[in-house]
Structure 1
Amino acid sequence: MPSLLAVYAHPDDESLFSGGVLARNAAEGGRTAVVTATWAEGTHRARELAEALTILGVPEKPRLLGYADSRVPSSAPGSPRLCDAPLDDSVGRLVAHIREFRPEIVVTHDAYGGVTGHEDHVHTHRVTALAVQAAGLERLYPEAGAPWRAGVLYLAAHPHSAIRALREFEEAGEDMWTVPDERITTTVDVRPWLDRKWAAVSAHRSEAQRGAAPGLLATLPAKARERILGTEWYIRQDLMSDTRKGETELTGR
Protein backbone atom coordinates (compact mmCIF):
# COMPACT_ATOMS: atom_id res chain seq x y z
CA MET A 1 0.00 0.00 0.00
CA PRO A 2 1.20 3.56 -0.66
CA SER A 3 2.33 5.99 2.00
CA LEU A 4 -0.50 8.42 2.74
CA LEU A 5 -0.56 11.79 4.49
CA ALA A 6 -3.98 13.31 5.24
CA VAL A 7 -4.16 17.06 5.87
CA TYR A 8 -7.34 18.36 7.50
CA ALA A 9 -8.44 21.54 9.23
CA HIS A 10 -9.81 20.34 12.56
CA PRO A 11 -9.66 17.33 14.85
CA ASP A 12 -12.56 15.08 13.71
CA ASP A 13 -12.28 16.00 10.00
CA GLU A 14 -9.86 13.12 9.47
CA SER A 15 -12.37 10.60 10.81
CA LEU A 16 -15.49 12.08 9.21
CA PHE A 17 -14.04 12.56 5.72
CA SER A 18 -11.39 9.85 5.43
CA GLY A 19 -11.63 7.53 8.43
CA GLY A 20 -12.26 4.46 6.26
CA VAL A 21 -9.39 5.12 3.87
CA LEU A 22 -7.01 5.87 6.76
CA ALA A 23 -7.99 2.68 8.60
CA ARG A 24 -7.66 0.53 5.49
CA ASN A 25 -4.32 1.99 4.42
CA ALA A 26 -2.82 1.53 7.88
CA ALA A 27 -4.20 -2.01 8.28
CA GLU A 28 -2.81 -3.09 4.93
CA GLY A 29 0.69 -1.88 5.77
CA GLY A 30 0.80 1.55 4.19
CA ARG A 31 2.61 4.26 6.13
CA THR A 32 -0.15 6.59 7.28
CA ALA A 33 -0.18 9.93 9.10
CA VAL A 34 -2.43 12.93 9.71
CA VAL A 35 -1.64 16.64 9.81
CA THR A 36 -4.24 18.85 11.51
CA ALA A 37 -4.06 22.59 10.87
CA THR A 38 -5.75 23.87 14.04
CA TRP A 39 -5.71 23.29 17.81
CA ALA A 40 -2.53 23.08 19.86
CA GLU A 41 -0.72 20.31 21.67
CA GLY A 42 -2.17 19.71 25.13
CA THR A 43 -5.70 20.83 24.31
CA HIS A 44 -8.63 18.47 24.81
CA ARG A 45 -9.30 18.24 21.09
CA ALA A 46 -5.68 17.31 20.38
CA ARG A 47 -6.03 14.49 22.91
CA GLU A 48 -9.25 13.33 21.25
CA LEU A 49 -7.49 13.39 17.88
CA ALA A 50 -4.72 11.17 19.20
CA GLU A 51 -7.32 8.71 20.52
CA ALA A 52 -9.16 8.70 17.18
CA LEU A 53 -5.96 7.95 15.25
CA THR A 54 -5.19 5.06 17.59
CA ILE A 55 -8.67 3.64 16.91
CA LEU A 56 -8.09 3.97 13.16
CA GLY A 57 -4.81 2.08 13.53
CA VAL A 58 -2.64 5.05 12.55
CA PRO A 59 0.58 4.51 14.51
CA GLU A 60 1.91 8.06 14.32
CA LYS A 61 1.06 10.80 16.79
CA PRO A 62 -0.97 13.67 15.31
CA ARG A 63 1.04 16.30 13.49
CA LEU A 64 -0.32 19.74 14.41
CA LEU A 65 0.40 22.96 12.51
CA GLY A 66 -0.61 24.80 15.68
CA TYR A 67 -2.97 27.50 14.43
CA ALA A 68 -6.21 28.55 16.09
CA ASP A 69 -9.60 27.42 14.87
CA SER A 70 -11.22 30.46 13.23
CA ARG A 71 -14.22 30.15 15.56
CA VAL A 72 -12.33 29.18 18.75
CA PRO A 73 -9.37 31.56 19.33
CA SER A 74 -8.50 29.78 22.61
CA SER A 75 -7.75 26.56 20.65
CA ALA A 76 -4.14 27.70 20.18
CA PRO A 77 -3.23 30.39 22.73
CA GLY A 78 -0.73 32.89 21.38
CA SER A 79 -1.10 31.71 17.78
CA PRO A 80 -3.05 33.35 14.96
CA ARG A 81 -6.20 31.91 13.52
CA LEU A 82 -5.42 29.67 10.56
CA CYS A 83 -7.15 32.00 8.10
CA ASP A 84 -5.21 35.01 9.48
CA ALA A 85 -1.74 33.46 9.48
CA PRO A 86 0.71 34.55 6.76
CA LEU A 87 0.26 32.13 3.87
CA ASP A 88 4.00 31.68 3.48
CA ASP A 89 4.25 30.56 7.11
CA SER A 90 1.44 28.00 6.95
CA VAL A 91 2.64 26.58 3.62
CA GLY A 92 6.19 26.32 4.98
CA ARG A 93 5.05 24.43 8.09
CA LEU A 94 3.18 21.91 5.95
CA VAL A 95 6.07 21.57 3.49
CA ALA A 96 8.26 20.47 6.42
CA HIS A 97 5.81 17.67 7.28
CA ILE A 98 5.54 16.54 3.66
CA ARG A 99 9.31 16.42 3.24
CA GLU A 100 9.80 14.58 6.52
CA PHE A 101 7.04 11.99 5.94
CA ARG A 102 7.56 11.65 2.15
CA PRO A 103 4.05 10.50 1.18
CA GLU A 104 3.11 9.04 -2.18
CA ILE A 105 -0.48 10.22 -1.63
CA VAL A 106 -1.74 13.41 0.04
CA VAL A 107 -5.43 13.71 0.98
CA THR A 108 -7.19 16.93 1.96
CA HIS A 109 -10.43 18.92 1.68
CA ASP A 110 -11.79 19.83 -1.74
CA ALA A 111 -11.93 23.47 -2.88
CA TYR A 112 -15.38 23.89 -1.30
CA GLY A 113 -14.08 22.64 2.04
CA GLY A 114 -16.57 19.77 2.10
CA VAL A 115 -20.33 19.92 2.50
CA THR A 116 -20.27 22.66 5.15
CA GLY A 117 -17.98 25.06 3.28
CA HIS A 118 -16.22 25.91 6.58
CA GLU A 119 -13.64 28.66 6.08
CA ASP A 120 -10.89 26.65 7.82
CA HIS A 121 -11.57 23.71 5.49
CA VAL A 122 -11.35 25.95 2.42
CA HIS A 123 -8.12 27.52 3.62
CA THR A 124 -6.59 24.15 4.46
CA HIS A 125 -7.29 23.09 0.87
CA ARG A 126 -5.46 26.18 -0.41
CA VAL A 127 -2.47 25.66 1.87
CA THR A 128 -2.20 21.97 0.96
CA ALA A 129 -2.49 22.57 -2.78
CA LEU A 130 0.41 25.05 -2.57
CA ALA A 131 2.48 22.93 -0.19
CA VAL A 132 2.44 19.74 -2.30
CA GLN A 133 3.87 21.75 -5.18
CA ALA A 134 6.38 23.69 -3.08
CA ALA A 135 7.64 20.55 -1.33
CA GLY A 136 9.13 19.29 -4.59
CA LEU A 137 11.07 22.48 -5.40
CA GLU A 138 14.51 22.64 -3.83
CA ARG A 139 14.73 26.44 -3.83
CA LEU A 140 11.53 26.88 -1.87
CA TYR A 141 11.70 26.48 1.92
CA PRO A 142 15.24 25.03 1.89
CA GLU A 143 15.21 25.00 5.70
CA ALA A 144 12.31 22.50 5.63
CA GLY A 145 14.38 19.56 4.41
CA ALA A 146 15.20 17.78 1.17
CA PRO A 147 12.62 18.14 -1.63
CA TRP A 148 9.91 15.52 -2.00
CA ARG A 149 7.32 15.15 -4.74
CA ALA A 150 4.12 13.37 -3.81
CA GLY A 151 2.54 11.54 -6.72
CA VAL A 152 -1.15 12.25 -6.20
CA LEU A 153 -3.43 14.66 -4.37
CA TYR A 154 -6.90 13.36 -3.47
CA LEU A 155 -9.57 15.91 -2.55
CA ALA A 156 -12.33 14.64 -0.25
CA ALA A 157 -15.69 15.71 -1.67
CA HIS A 158 -19.39 14.82 -1.75
CA PRO A 159 -21.27 14.39 -5.04
CA HIS A 160 -24.70 15.87 -5.71
CA SER A 161 -26.12 12.34 -5.59
CA ALA A 162 -25.23 12.12 -1.89
CA ILE A 163 -27.57 14.97 -0.94
CA ARG A 164 -30.52 12.71 -0.18
CA ALA A 165 -28.53 10.75 2.40
CA LEU A 166 -26.99 13.91 3.81
CA ARG A 167 -30.42 15.40 4.43
CA GLU A 168 -30.96 12.71 7.05
CA PHE A 169 -28.17 14.53 8.85
CA GLU A 170 -29.68 17.56 10.57
CA GLU A 171 -26.62 19.78 10.09
CA ALA A 172 -26.86 19.41 6.32
CA GLY A 173 -29.51 21.89 5.29
CA GLU A 174 -30.25 23.35 1.89
CA ASP A 175 -26.85 25.00 1.48
CA MET A 176 -24.61 21.97 0.97
CA TRP A 177 -21.35 22.31 -0.92
CA THR A 178 -21.42 19.26 -3.16
CA VAL A 179 -19.83 18.73 -6.60
CA PRO A 180 -21.26 17.31 -9.83
CA ASP A 181 -21.05 13.52 -9.82
CA GLU A 182 -18.84 13.52 -12.92
CA ARG A 183 -16.14 15.37 -10.99
CA ILE A 184 -15.72 12.42 -8.62
CA THR A 185 -12.90 10.15 -9.80
CA THR A 186 -12.65 7.77 -6.85
CA THR A 187 -15.46 6.21 -4.83
CA VAL A 188 -14.42 4.05 -1.88
CA ASP A 189 -16.78 1.64 -0.12
CA VAL A 190 -15.54 1.83 3.47
CA ARG A 191 -18.32 -0.23 5.06
CA PRO A 192 -15.81 -2.97 6.01
CA TRP A 193 -14.13 -0.28 8.14
CA LEU A 194 -17.28 1.48 9.30
CA ASP A 195 -17.23 0.26 12.90
CA ARG A 196 -13.69 1.54 13.32
CA LYS A 197 -14.50 4.79 11.52
CA TRP A 198 -17.55 5.43 13.69
CA ALA A 199 -15.59 4.65 16.86
CA ALA A 200 -12.97 7.20 15.77
CA VAL A 201 -15.65 9.83 15.07
CA SER A 202 -17.14 9.10 18.50
CA ALA A 203 -13.76 9.66 20.15
CA HIS A 204 -14.24 13.37 19.45
CA ARG A 205 -16.43 13.59 22.53
CA SER A 206 -16.31 17.35 23.00
CA GLU A 207 -17.73 17.84 19.50
CA ALA A 208 -20.48 15.34 20.23
CA GLN A 209 -21.33 17.10 23.48
CA ARG A 210 -21.69 20.50 21.82
CA GLY A 211 -23.99 19.09 19.13
CA ALA A 212 -21.55 19.20 16.21
CA ALA A 213 -21.30 16.48 13.56
CA PRO A 214 -20.29 13.56 15.84
CA GLY A 215 -23.20 14.33 18.17
CA LEU A 216 -25.73 14.76 15.37
CA LEU A 217 -24.64 11.50 13.78
CA ALA A 218 -25.03 9.71 17.11
CA THR A 219 -28.74 10.54 17.10
CA LEU A 220 -29.30 8.70 13.80
CA PRO A 221 -30.15 5.01 13.35
CA ALA A 222 -27.19 2.85 12.39
CA LYS A 223 -28.47 2.40 8.82
CA ALA A 224 -28.67 6.16 8.31
CA ARG A 225 -25.11 6.58 9.62
CA GLU A 226 -24.00 3.88 7.19
CA ARG A 227 -25.55 5.78 4.27
CA ILE A 228 -23.67 8.91 5.30
CA LEU A 229 -20.32 7.46 6.42
CA GLY A 230 -20.06 4.17 4.50
CA THR A 231 -18.79 5.73 1.27
CA GLU A 232 -15.92 8.18 0.78
CA TRP A 233 -15.57 10.20 -2.42
CA TYR A 234 -12.47 11.88 -3.83
CA ILE A 235 -11.26 13.93 -6.76
CA ARG A 236 -7.87 12.65 -7.92
CA GLN A 237 -5.23 15.12 -9.13
CA ASP A 238 -1.98 13.67 -10.45
CA LEU A 239 1.03 15.71 -9.41
CA MET A 240 3.57 13.97 -11.65
CA SER A 241 3.11 12.96 -15.28
CA ASP A 242 4.83 9.62 -14.69
CA THR A 243 2.75 8.60 -11.65
CA ARG A 244 1.84 4.92 -11.88
CA LYS A 245 -1.87 4.93 -11.22
CA GLY A 246 -2.16 1.41 -9.83
CA GLU A 247 0.33 2.24 -7.09
CA THR A 248 -1.50 5.38 -5.94
CA GLU A 249 -5.12 4.24 -5.92
CA LEU A 250 -7.15 4.69 -2.74
CA THR A 251 -9.31 1.77 -3.85
CA GLY A 252 -6.37 -0.65 -3.86
CA ARG A 253 -4.78 -2.65 -6.66
Structure 2
Amino acid sequence: MAEETASVPAEPSVLAVFAHPDDESLSAGGVLARHAAAGARTAVVTATWAEGTHRAAELAEALRLLGAGRPRLLGFADARVPESAPGEARLCDAPLDEAVRRLVAHIREFRPRIVLTHDAYGGLTGHPDHVHTHRVTVLATRAAGLDGLYPGTGEPWQPRALHLATHPHSAVTALADVIGARKAVHSTPDEEVTAAVDVTPWLETKVAAVLAHRSEVERGAVPALVAGLPRHVQERVLGTEWYIRQETVPPAVAVRESTLTG
Protein backbone atom coordinates (compact mmCIF):
# COMPACT_ATOMS: atom_id res chain seq x y z
CA MET A 1 0.00 0.00 0.00
CA ALA A 2 1.37 3.40 -1.00
CA GLU A 3 2.61 5.84 1.61
CA GLU A 4 -0.10 8.40 2.47
CA THR A 5 1.95 10.96 4.38
CA ALA A 6 5.53 11.32 5.47
CA SER A 7 4.63 10.06 8.94
CA VAL A 8 3.01 6.81 7.76
CA PRO A 9 5.32 3.82 7.16
CA ALA A 10 5.35 2.73 3.50
CA GLU A 11 4.96 -0.96 4.32
CA PRO A 12 1.85 -2.39 6.04
CA SER A 13 2.19 -3.03 9.76
CA VAL A 14 0.14 -5.16 12.12
CA LEU A 15 0.06 -5.17 15.91
CA ALA A 16 -1.91 -8.03 17.49
CA VAL A 17 -3.11 -7.69 21.08
CA PHE A 18 -4.32 -10.86 22.79
CA ALA A 19 -4.92 -11.98 26.34
CA HIS A 20 -2.74 -15.07 26.78
CA PRO A 21 0.24 -16.76 25.17
CA ASP A 22 -1.22 -19.04 22.41
CA ASP A 23 -4.19 -16.73 21.65
CA GLU A 24 -2.10 -14.97 19.00
CA SER A 25 -1.32 -18.23 17.19
CA LEU A 26 -4.81 -19.71 17.41
CA SER A 27 -6.71 -16.53 16.51
CA ALA A 28 -4.39 -14.68 14.13
CA GLY A 29 -1.37 -16.87 13.43
CA GLY A 30 -2.19 -17.15 9.75
CA VAL A 31 -2.61 -13.42 9.18
CA LEU A 32 0.57 -12.65 11.14
CA ALA A 33 2.57 -15.24 9.16
CA ARG A 34 1.11 -13.98 5.87
CA HIS A 35 2.04 -10.37 6.55
CA ALA A 36 5.52 -11.26 7.82
CA ALA A 37 6.18 -13.37 4.70
CA ALA A 38 5.23 -10.35 2.57
CA GLY A 39 7.76 -8.16 4.39
CA ALA A 40 5.35 -6.37 6.73
CA ARG A 41 6.23 -5.31 10.24
CA THR A 42 4.30 -7.48 12.69
CA ALA A 43 4.28 -7.66 16.48
CA VAL A 44 2.23 -9.12 19.32
CA VAL A 45 1.30 -7.66 22.70
CA THR A 46 0.19 -10.21 25.30
CA ALA A 47 -1.82 -8.91 28.23
CA THR A 48 -0.99 -11.61 30.78
CA TRP A 49 2.02 -13.58 32.02
CA ALA A 50 5.35 -12.03 32.89
CA GLU A 51 8.90 -12.21 31.64
CA GLY A 52 10.78 -15.18 33.07
CA THR A 53 7.77 -17.49 33.17
CA HIS A 54 7.63 -20.68 31.11
CA ARG A 55 4.74 -19.45 28.99
CA ALA A 56 6.59 -16.25 28.12
CA ALA A 57 9.45 -18.41 26.81
CA GLU A 58 7.00 -20.47 24.75
CA LEU A 59 5.49 -17.26 23.40
CA ALA A 60 8.93 -16.12 22.25
CA GLU A 61 9.32 -19.31 20.20
CA ALA A 62 5.83 -18.99 18.70
CA LEU A 63 6.50 -15.39 17.67
CA ARG A 64 9.84 -16.38 16.14
CA LEU A 65 8.02 -18.90 13.95
CA LEU A 66 5.38 -16.33 12.96
CA GLY A 67 7.97 -13.65 12.24
CA ALA A 68 6.42 -11.36 14.82
CA GLY A 69 9.50 -10.25 16.73
CA ARG A 70 10.03 -10.30 20.47
CA PRO A 71 7.29 -10.77 23.07
CA ARG A 72 5.69 -7.57 24.33
CA LEU A 73 4.06 -8.24 27.69
CA LEU A 74 1.71 -5.96 29.62
CA GLY A 75 2.66 -8.06 32.62
CA PHE A 76 -0.70 -8.67 34.32
CA ALA A 77 -1.70 -11.99 35.85
CA ASP A 78 -3.96 -14.52 34.16
CA ALA A 79 -7.39 -14.52 35.83
CA ARG A 80 -7.03 -18.23 36.63
CA VAL A 81 -3.26 -18.44 37.26
CA PRO A 82 -2.10 -15.91 39.87
CA GLU A 83 1.52 -17.12 39.65
CA SER A 84 1.63 -16.07 35.99
CA ALA A 85 2.77 -12.58 37.06
CA PRO A 86 4.05 -12.59 40.65
CA GLY A 87 3.28 -9.36 42.47
CA GLU A 88 1.00 -8.03 39.72
CA ALA A 89 -2.76 -7.67 39.71
CA ARG A 90 -4.93 -9.96 37.63
CA LEU A 91 -5.73 -8.29 34.32
CA CYS A 92 -9.43 -8.02 35.14
CA ASP A 93 -8.66 -6.48 38.56
CA ALA A 94 -6.04 -3.96 37.45
CA PRO A 95 -7.01 -0.27 37.12
CA LEU A 96 -8.36 0.16 33.61
CA ASP A 97 -6.40 3.36 33.07
CA GLU A 98 -3.12 1.59 33.87
CA ALA A 99 -3.84 -1.25 31.45
CA VAL A 100 -4.70 1.25 28.70
CA ARG A 101 -1.58 3.29 29.43
CA ARG A 102 0.69 0.26 29.09
CA LEU A 103 -0.87 -0.69 25.77
CA VAL A 104 -0.78 2.88 24.44
CA ALA A 105 2.99 2.86 24.99
CA HIS A 106 3.34 -0.20 22.75
CA ILE A 107 1.07 1.24 20.06
CA ARG A 108 3.00 4.51 19.98
CA GLU A 109 6.34 2.72 19.89
CA PHE A 110 5.41 0.22 17.14
CA ARG A 111 3.16 2.60 15.13
CA PRO A 112 0.95 0.01 13.37
CA ARG A 113 -1.47 0.65 10.53
CA ILE A 114 -3.89 -1.95 11.91
CA VAL A 115 -4.47 -3.55 15.29
CA LEU A 116 -5.92 -7.03 15.84
CA THR A 117 -7.59 -8.24 19.02
CA HIS A 118 -10.41 -10.38 20.43
CA ASP A 119 -14.01 -9.58 19.54
CA ALA A 120 -16.41 -8.21 22.16
CA TYR A 121 -17.45 -11.71 23.20
CA GLY A 122 -13.88 -12.72 23.89
CA GLY A 123 -13.95 -15.32 21.13
CA LEU A 124 -15.67 -18.69 21.23
CA THR A 125 -14.99 -19.28 24.93
CA GLY A 126 -15.79 -15.83 26.28
CA HIS A 127 -12.85 -16.04 28.69
CA PRO A 128 -12.94 -12.97 30.96
CA ASP A 129 -9.34 -12.08 30.10
CA HIS A 130 -10.26 -12.12 26.40
CA VAL A 131 -13.25 -9.86 26.96
CA HIS A 132 -11.23 -7.41 29.04
CA THR A 133 -8.37 -7.38 26.53
CA HIS A 134 -10.92 -6.37 23.90
CA ARG A 135 -12.07 -3.46 26.06
CA VAL A 136 -8.53 -2.29 26.81
CA THR A 137 -7.51 -2.52 23.15
CA VAL A 138 -10.51 -0.57 21.87
CA LEU A 139 -9.76 2.24 24.32
CA ALA A 140 -6.00 2.21 23.77
CA THR A 141 -6.26 2.20 19.96
CA ARG A 142 -8.20 5.47 20.09
CA ALA A 143 -6.27 7.00 22.98
CA ALA A 144 -2.91 6.40 21.29
CA GLY A 145 -3.75 9.03 18.69
CA LEU A 146 -4.85 11.74 21.10
CA ASP A 147 -2.23 14.32 21.96
CA GLY A 148 -2.24 15.09 25.67
CA LEU A 149 -3.29 11.61 26.81
CA TYR A 150 -0.73 9.41 28.55
CA PRO A 151 2.28 11.74 28.45
CA GLY A 152 5.59 9.93 28.63
CA THR A 153 4.43 7.02 26.46
CA GLY A 154 5.67 8.38 23.13
CA GLU A 155 4.41 10.57 20.33
CA PRO A 156 0.72 10.16 19.41
CA TRP A 157 -0.04 7.58 16.74
CA GLN A 158 -3.44 6.65 15.31
CA PRO A 159 -3.83 3.16 13.77
CA ARG A 160 -6.04 3.18 10.71
CA ALA A 161 -8.33 0.32 11.74
CA LEU A 162 -9.05 -2.24 14.41
CA HIS A 163 -9.80 -5.82 13.35
CA LEU A 164 -11.61 -8.09 15.81
CA ALA A 165 -10.87 -11.81 15.55
CA THR A 166 -14.18 -13.67 15.55
CA HIS A 167 -16.13 -16.71 14.33
CA PRO A 168 -19.30 -16.43 12.23
CA HIS A 169 -22.38 -18.42 13.18
CA SER A 170 -21.97 -20.55 10.06
CA ALA A 171 -18.56 -21.83 11.18
CA VAL A 172 -19.62 -23.01 14.61
CA THR A 173 -21.26 -26.24 13.48
CA ALA A 174 -18.15 -27.36 11.65
CA LEU A 175 -16.00 -26.44 14.64
CA ALA A 176 -18.29 -28.28 17.05
CA ASP A 177 -17.98 -31.42 14.94
CA VAL A 178 -14.25 -31.34 15.63
CA ILE A 179 -13.81 -29.80 19.06
CA GLY A 180 -17.01 -31.14 20.61
CA ALA A 181 -19.59 -29.35 22.69
CA ARG A 182 -18.39 -26.50 24.91
CA LYS A 183 -19.98 -24.85 27.92
CA ALA A 184 -20.23 -21.60 25.98
CA VAL A 185 -19.79 -20.78 22.33
CA HIS A 186 -19.90 -17.15 21.23
CA SER A 187 -20.09 -16.32 17.54
CA THR A 188 -21.04 -13.43 15.27
CA PRO A 189 -23.80 -13.09 12.65
CA ASP A 190 -22.24 -13.83 9.28
CA GLU A 191 -23.24 -10.45 7.87
CA GLU A 192 -21.16 -8.65 10.51
CA VAL A 193 -17.95 -10.38 9.47
CA THR A 194 -15.97 -8.11 7.14
CA ALA A 195 -13.00 -10.34 6.29
CA ALA A 196 -12.66 -14.11 5.87
CA VAL A 197 -8.97 -14.74 5.28
CA ASP A 198 -7.78 -18.00 3.73
CA VAL A 199 -4.57 -18.78 5.62
CA THR A 200 -4.04 -22.35 4.39
CA PRO A 201 -0.77 -21.40 2.61
CA TRP A 202 0.58 -20.47 6.06
CA LEU A 203 -1.14 -23.27 7.98
CA GLU A 204 2.05 -25.22 8.65
CA THR A 205 3.61 -22.16 10.26
CA LYS A 206 0.45 -21.41 12.21
CA VAL A 207 0.20 -24.95 13.59
CA ALA A 208 3.89 -24.97 14.52
CA ALA A 209 3.37 -21.72 16.44
CA VAL A 210 0.36 -23.19 18.27
CA LEU A 211 2.39 -26.25 19.23
CA ALA A 212 5.26 -24.07 20.47
CA HIS A 213 3.06 -23.49 23.51
CA ARG A 214 4.22 -26.84 24.86
CA SER A 215 2.83 -26.51 28.37
CA GLU A 216 -0.65 -26.04 26.92
CA VAL A 217 -0.18 -29.15 24.78
CA GLU A 218 0.95 -31.10 27.85
CA ARG A 219 -2.00 -30.05 29.97
CA GLY A 220 -4.54 -30.95 27.29
CA ALA A 221 -5.68 -27.44 26.36
CA VAL A 222 -6.66 -26.36 22.82
CA PRO A 223 -3.09 -26.68 21.43
CA ALA A 224 -3.20 -30.36 22.44
CA LEU A 225 -6.37 -30.78 20.39
CA VAL A 226 -4.67 -29.16 17.41
CA ALA A 227 -1.70 -31.50 17.78
CA GLY A 228 -3.94 -34.53 17.44
CA LEU A 229 -5.81 -33.47 14.30
CA PRO A 230 -4.95 -34.80 10.84
CA ARG A 231 -3.90 -32.20 8.28
CA HIS A 232 -7.23 -32.02 6.46
CA VAL A 233 -9.06 -31.39 9.74
CA GLN A 234 -6.51 -28.75 10.77
CA GLU A 235 -7.31 -26.99 7.49
CA ARG A 236 -11.01 -27.14 8.28
CA VAL A 237 -10.60 -25.74 11.79
CA LEU A 238 -7.67 -23.33 11.40
CA GLY A 239 -7.45 -22.58 7.66
CA THR A 240 -9.72 -19.51 7.75
CA GLU A 241 -9.49 -16.51 10.07
CA TRP A 242 -12.45 -14.14 10.39
CA TYR A 243 -12.41 -10.48 11.39
CA ILE A 244 -14.74 -7.56 12.00
CA ARG A 245 -13.21 -4.25 10.88
CA GLN A 246 -13.79 -1.11 12.90
CA GLU A 247 -12.55 2.25 11.68
CA THR A 248 -10.50 4.29 14.14
CA VAL A 249 -10.17 7.48 12.07
CA PRO A 250 -12.75 9.68 10.29
CA PRO A 251 -13.95 8.23 6.95
CA ALA A 252 -12.30 11.04 4.97
CA VAL A 253 -8.84 9.80 5.98
CA ALA A 254 -9.54 6.12 6.65
CA VAL A 255 -7.83 3.46 4.59
CA ARG A 256 -10.77 1.91 2.75
CA GLU A 257 -9.00 -1.12 1.29
CA SER A 258 -8.65 -4.07 3.63
CA THR A 259 -5.00 -4.71 4.39
CA LEU A 260 -5.97 -8.20 5.47
CA THR A 261 -7.43 -9.45 2.21
CA GLY A 262 -5.34 -7.88 -0.47
Tell me which of 46, 50, 68 is aligned to 2:56.
Answer: 46
- Which SS does the other structure have where 2:243 is aligned? strand
Aligned to 1:11: 21
Q: CA deviation at 1:170?
A: 3.0
Aligned-residue CA RMSD (Å):
1.1
Q: CA deviation at 1:221?
A: 2.3
- Say which is worse superposed, 160-169 or 208-217, in terms of deviation: 160-169
Tell me which of 139, 143, 151 is aligned to 2:152.
Answer: 143
Q: CA deviation at 1:168?
A: 3.0
Tell me which of 128, 133, 152 is aligned to 1:124.
Answer: 133
Aligned to 1:244: 255
Aligned to 2:7: none
- TM-score normalized with structure 2 length: 0.93
Amino acid at match of 2:75: G
- TM-score normalized with structure 1 length: 0.96
Contact 1:165/1:224 (CA < 8 Å) preserved in 2?
Answer: no
Amino acid at match of 1:203: A
Percent identity between the two aligned chains? 66
Aligned to 1:154: 163
Stretches of structure 1 that go unaligned for 5 or more consecutive residues are none
Amino acid at match of 2:199: V
Q: CA deviation at 1:99?
A: 0.5
1:106 aligns with 2:115: yes
Q: Distance in 2 between matches of 1:171 and 1:74?
A: 30
Q: CA deviation at 1:244?
A: 2.2
Q: Distance in 1 between matches of 2:226 and 2:114?
A: 29
Aligned to 1:223: 232
Instruction: State the aligned residue count.
Output: 250
Q: Distance in 2 between matches of 1:17 and 1:172?
A: 19
Aligned to 1:81: 90
Q: CA deviation at 1:220?
A: 2.3
Q: CA deviation at 1:156?
A: 0.2
Tell me which of 74, 77, 87 is aligned to 1:68.
Answer: 77
Q: CA deviation at 1:217?
A: 1.9
Amino acid at match of 2:13: S
- Which SS does the other structure have where 2:152 is aligned? helix
1:28 aligns with 2:38: yes
- Say which is worse superposed, 146-155 or 215-224, in terms of deviation: 215-224
TM-superposition CA deviations, 1:125-174 (whole Å, max 9, x none): 00000001110111110121111000000000000011122113436526
